[in-house]
Amino acid sequence: MKRILLTLMVVVAGLSTIAPDISAQTDNRNQGVARRQKMMDDWHKDMAEFRARSAEDRQLEKLADSLASVQARAALRNQDFVLEADNVQFRNGSTVFVNSTTNFISVKGNRAVVQISPSNFASGPNGVGGVTVEGMISDKEIRTDSKGRTTFSMNVMGIGINAQVEIYMFPGSNRATATVYPNFNSNTVWLDGTIVPYENSNVFEGDSL
C-alpha cells in the first residue's frame, strides 16, 4: 500500500511540472496567431488607404485636366494662347524632343509667332537654336466635332512666313498637335505639346526674321 501511494505521489508531482510547460506553449501559440492576425489586419488597412489615396489622386488629375482643357479652348476662341511644344517632327520623319520654352506657336490677337528651335547648342538665326517667324492672321476658323475634338486653323503671313497652320486639340485635355504647311515649299512641320493661355506661358521668343 505504501508503495502504491508513493507511486501516485511521483506521478502527480510529474504532472504538476509538465502542466505549466504545456500552458506556456499554448499561450505562445495564441500570441503568435494574434500577431499574425494583427499584421494581416494592418496590411489590409494600409492597402485600403492606398487605394483610397490613388482614387482621390486620379480624381484630382481628372479635374485638373478638365480645367486645363476648358482654359485652352477659351484661349483658342479668344485668339490668346500659346502651344508649347515638347517634340517636333520634320518632313523626313525625324522627331526631336525639344524645350517647350523655345518651341511654340503663339497667337495674340491677330499676331502669330511660329518658333522652331530644335538645337540646344547652335544659336541659329533667332539666337536660341532655330528660326522665329511672325505674321498676321487671316481666315481663322475654329470648329468642334461631336466627339469634342477641336480644330483651330488659320493662315499666317509675314516677312518670313506664309503658311497655313492647323491646331488639333484632344477632348478632356489641353494636349494638342499642330501642323504648319508653308505655302512656298513642302517643308511641313508638326508640333506636339500643350495649349495654355498666353498670360500663363513661359516661352522665350527669339529674334524673328
What pLDDT does residue 83 have? 98
User: Could you give the CA distance from residue 31 to residue 48 in angstroms, rounded to a whole number?
Assistant: 26
Taking the CB of residue 44, how many other CB atoms lie within 10 A of it?
A: 10
Percent of the chain with pLDDT over 70: 77
Residues of the domain holding 163: 1-209
pTM reported for the whole predicted model? 0.71
Sign of the Cα torsion 60, 64, 65, 66 reads positive
Q: Find the CATH number of the domain harbouring 209.
A: 2.40.128.410
Whether the predicted pLDDT of 45 surpasses 80: no
Find, among 156, 71, 177, 170, the residue nearest to 114 by Cα.
156
For the residues 9-36, what does the mean pLDDT come to? 58
Average pLDDT for residues 36-57, to the nearest whole number?
A: 72
Average pLDDT over residues 10-30: 55
Q: What is the mean pLDDT of residues 71-86?
A: 95
pLDDT in tens, 146-192: 888 999 999 999 998 999 999 999 888 999 999 999 987 878 999 99
Number of domains in the chain: 1
Query: Could you tell me which residue, 11 or 121, shows the higher pLDDT?
Result: 121
Is residue 47 scored above 90 in pLDDT? no
**Residue 10: predicted pLDDT:** 44
pLDDT (tens digit, 9 = 90+) per residue, 122-151? Answer: 778 888 889 999 999 999 999 999 888 999
Q: What is the 3 state secondary structure string of the chain?
A: CHHHHHHHHHHHHHHHHHHHHHHHHHHHHHHHHHHHHHHHHHHHHHHHHHHHHHHHHHHHHHHHHHHHHHHHHHHHHCCEEEEEEEEEEECCCCEEECCCCCCEEEEECCEEEEEECCCCCCCCCCCCCCEEEEEEEEEEEEEECCCCCEEEEEEEECCCCEEEEEEEECCCCCEEEEEEEECCCCCCEEEEEEEEEHHHCCCCCCCCC
pLDDT value at position 142?
A: 94
Please say if the pLDDT value at position 193 is more than 90: yes
- Kindly state the average pLDDT of the residues 196-209: 92
